[in-house]
Structure formats: C-alpha cells, structure tokens
A and B are shown apart, each in its own frame.
Chain A
Amino acid sequence: MIWDSWGAFWEMGGSGPFVWGSYGVTTVLIVAELIMLRTRRVSSTRKLNRLMRAGHGRKLPEVQGS
C-alpha cells in the first residue's frame, strides 16, 4: 500500500490542492455535461411533442436535405 492512512491519501504529499483541484473540477464538469444533456433531451422532447399536438409539426419552415 502506498498510503499510510486516509489522511496521507488526501494530503497527496502536500500536493492535495493541485491533485484534488484537478480531479474535482473534472468530476464537476462531467456531471454538469450529463445533467445538461438530460435537461436538453427532456425539454426538447417536450417542446417537439407540444408542436406536434398543436399540429404545427409540418408547417415549420425547415428544409430537409436528402
């Protein structure tokens, strides 16, 4: 085992703020991306459903490629 205790693990030989600052921000960004993706999926599905029910689905001015 590399670490004598959990205290030593969190301290990272005095580099704790740099190491955990790196891993922490990365974790936050990944979680944020997943939440944003979910939010977009839910809101987009809701909006498209509303448009469809309102019967505007086919009238929207969009050109489709083939």
Chain B
Amino acid sequence: MSTSESRFNLYHYAAPQAFYPVAGKLAPIFAAIAVVLAVAGLWIGFFKAPTDAVQGEVYRIIFIHVPAAWMSMFVFLVMAFWSAVGLAMNTRLSALMAQALAPTGAMFCFVALWTGALWGRPTWGAYWVWDARLTSQLLLLFLYLGYMALVAAIDDPRRRDKAGAILCLVGAVNVPIIYFSVKWWNTLHQGASVSLTKAPSMASIMLSGMLVMALAAWAYTISVALYRVRVLILERERHADWVRGELARLGEAS
C-alpha cells in the first residue's frame, strides 16, 4: 500500500486497517443526521400530517411501518451485494460489512411485521393473515435470523464468510418476491402507494413525513453498521500490529 498515493483510491479503503478510522469518523455524523431526521419526521408525522379521511389516526403507523419495511428489504440486498463482492474479489471487509448490517436489517424486518400487525387489526380485523406479502416478509425475518445463526456458528472466519455470503445471495431472491407480491398475487395487503413509475397515491405532507423517516432509517442503519463493523474488524484482525496498538489505546481509555 503506497502512502504517497494522493488521488482517492477505493481499493485503499477495502483494507480493514484503512476503513477502520474512516468508519469511526463517519458513524457519529450519520448518527447525528439520523436523530435530526427522526425528530423532523416525527414532527411532520404527528403534528403536521392531518387525520386520514378513511383510516382516522391509526394510519400514523405508516411513518415507521413503510420505512422499516423498505429498510429490511434494502439491507438484505446490500448484504447480498457485499457477499457477491466478497466472493468475487476475496476482500475481507465485504463479508464483515454484510455481518455488520444483519442485526439492524433483522430489527427493521421485525418492526415492519410488528407495526403491520398492529395496523392490520383495526383496519383488516386481523393481526395476521397468510397473505403473500406478509408471508414473504416473515420469510425474510427467518433469512436474517438464519444468516446470523449460521455466521455465529462457524468458527473458521473464511468458511463463515463464504457460507454467510451464499445464504445471502440465495436469500436475496426473496426480496423481489416481497416487493412484487402485491402485484403478482391477490393480497389483502394494499399495493404500493409510492413507486417510481406513477405519482404517489397519498397526500404530499404524509408522503414527506414518510420519506423523512425513511432517510432517518437509512442514516441510522449506516451509523450502527459502521460502529458494528469496527468491532468486527478488531475481532478479525486481532493479530495485526495496528489492532494491538488500537486495543492498547482503547484499554487505557476504558
């Protein structure tokens, strides 16, 4: 690795040693962004967005339900992306990125299911139905939990990375199934209110609250994943001299 390299080199940051301090700098910035956006989004959601003409107040669940559901699908795709990069280029950091994202994706997946149940009861009359959208989302939760269990169960880091990556790539097939389930099957779950191809079918103030909350969820995920990947890097690279230096520094600080 050349230190005299002056122009930005992406491959440089693929090295855990180079990425570790960068992640440390970026994580608190994204955490601050997440807090600001969440406060703004909740303010819009509870104090600016009007009562829904059909659903009354219960629709306000949308401000966490939709961002959480989007995030749970998107995070799995990002994990699949890093898995593919890791398998193809044999970069250590890629698998660690996927592993750092998994718990947050699982959390959002559970939140989407939980808030959906609490929204379904007053509007559909049932907490749960075996509808294609709900069932495929539940499968996504099991994929997250399965991935985390698999990764935790394998001691050898290379085998762990490879097995996790394969599960991610295979499981990613489920994500388009979730997304298009409302089109492909006759589901109780409503179709997309927001899509790239047509104008959104909801009031703009409600939409803006939802989008701000979605951005907050993004910033939260990035921040937490960066904090987590730093721990994973230390654990994985513990034999490296720079990690020993960093550990000594952290040991004195605590």
Give A contacts to B, CB under 8 Å. Answer: 1-3, 9, 12-15, 17-19, 21-23, 25-26, 29-30, 33-34, 36-37, 40-42, 44-46, 48-49, 51-52, 57-58, 60, 62-66
Contacts of A9 in B (CB 8 A): 46
Counting residue pairs across A and B whose Cβ atoms lie within 8 Å, the total is 118
Complex CA gap A36/B104 in Å reads: 11
Among B220, B230, B244, the residue within 8 A (CB) of A52 is B244
User: When chains A and B are docked, how far (Å) is the Cα of A18 from the Cα of B190?
Assistant: 19
Contact B231 A18 (CB under 8 A): no
B contacts, CB < 8 Å to A? 46-47, 49-51, 56-58, 60-61, 64-65, 68, 90, 92, 103-104, 107, 110-111, 114-115, 118-119, 121-122, 156-158, 161, 220, 224, 227-228, 230-231, 234-235, 237-239, 243-244, 247-248, 250-251, 254
In contact, A63 and B157 (Cβ under 8 angstroms)? yes
Known interface pairs A22-B61, A26-B68, A41-B227; 10 further A-B residue pairs with C-beta atoms within 8 A, sorted by A's residue number: A13-B58, A14-B56, A19-B57, A19-B58, A19-B61, A25-B111, A46-B254, A48-B247, A52-B247, A65-B92
* Alpha-carbon gap, A50 to B65, bound state (A): 43
